[in-house]
Amino acid sequence: MPSSENHLIERLPNGVQKRFLARCEPFELRQSAELSERGVAFTHAYFPNTGFISLVVDVDSYPPLEVGVVGRESMLGSELLLGVVTSPWRSVVQVAGTCWRIDAQGMRQAMADLPTLQALLQRNLMVRVHQHQSLASASAGQRH
């Protein structure tokens, strides 16, 4: 992968971007692959370049509910910013692609070492929280 292509990573200052990517590895997103399970510890954070990942909540007596989508504008595993160890949902690759991947401990260390990275990811997390809330409200309204 010649460049990050992930919009979050591209927004980092050049030097920070290079130091962060040096800690990451290229990873293939295979369609239908499950990257995290609800209640199971995060092993990695993912920064998609192409393709996208659905965040899915299993609801009793209803079909699974998609509560969010992660594409090249964001990351999967932003809960690590809050010290959350386990995933609140399942994450499933909906469209195959590529991403940058970093293990959970490496992500925590990168945030400690690179304050610019941490600040950018915190802002992105706030935007995603608002998006998830809006999507969940709209989906719940459609079910009634």
| 142 found inside a domain | no
Q: 59-91 burial, b for 16+ CB within 10 Å, e for fewer? A: eeeeeebbbbbbbbebbbbbbbbeeeeebebbb
Could you tell me if residue 35 is inside a domain?
A: yes
Q: What's the CATH number where 63 sits?
A: 2.60.120.10
- For residue 80, being part of any structural domain is answered with yes
pLDDT in tens, the chain (144 residues): 445 699 999 999 999 999 999 999 999 999 999 999 999 999 999 999 999 999 999 888 888 888 889 999 999 998 888 888 788 889 999 999 999 999 999 999 999 999 999 999 999 888 777 776 776 677 666 655
